Structure 1
Amino acid sequence: MKSYSFIQPRKKPIFTLFDKIWFGLFSFGIVFIFAVYFLYLTQIALTHNFIEEQKEQVLQFQNKTQENGKLYDILLEQSKIANTFHT
């Protein structure tokens, strides 16, 4: 006696829906990790640039302070000379 199946054979997908979901989550995780990594790299680069700019600004302030100190000394000497003429 022969038995026949009434179910028609179907093609099975290589990846099931469950596999696709896990692959999507894994891909999202990898992309997220790289995005955070590159975000931190750019933030570190910007911070280094900011620090270098601030160092240059501090040096400029120090030079300007020294120049102002010298100018103050010159003005003080001139003021003393002017006081001797005035009195």
Structure 2
Amino acid sequence: MKINGVNPSKIVNIYSSQAKSVEKKAEVSQKDSIQISSLGKNLSSYSLDDKFVNSNEKIETIKNQIANGTYSRDSKLVAAKILEEIRGNS
């Protein structure tokens, strides 16, 4: 009966071929993507205090007021709100 030792070059070849196939699979799986469901898109129209916000309607109202010359805001109130936001007191 003939007993041969293990040929190290065969083991190295098997290991390197396995390592190459793992690298190729890793390259393919590195593409990430994200999808937002229609429910998530609908939820974006709600504000934090559970009031429905229709931005397009609000913008059109303000545009019409500006065009008609009826849009006016208290400058002190606007300045106070800006300072609150900057300070984080809102």
The answer to whether the superposition gives a TM-score over 0.5 is: no
Larger radius of gyration: 1
TM-score range, shorter chain: 0.3 to 0.5
TM-score (normalizing by structure 1): 0.44
TM-score (normalizing by structure 2): 0.43
Larger relative CO (CA 8 A, sep 6+): 1 or 2?
Answer: 2
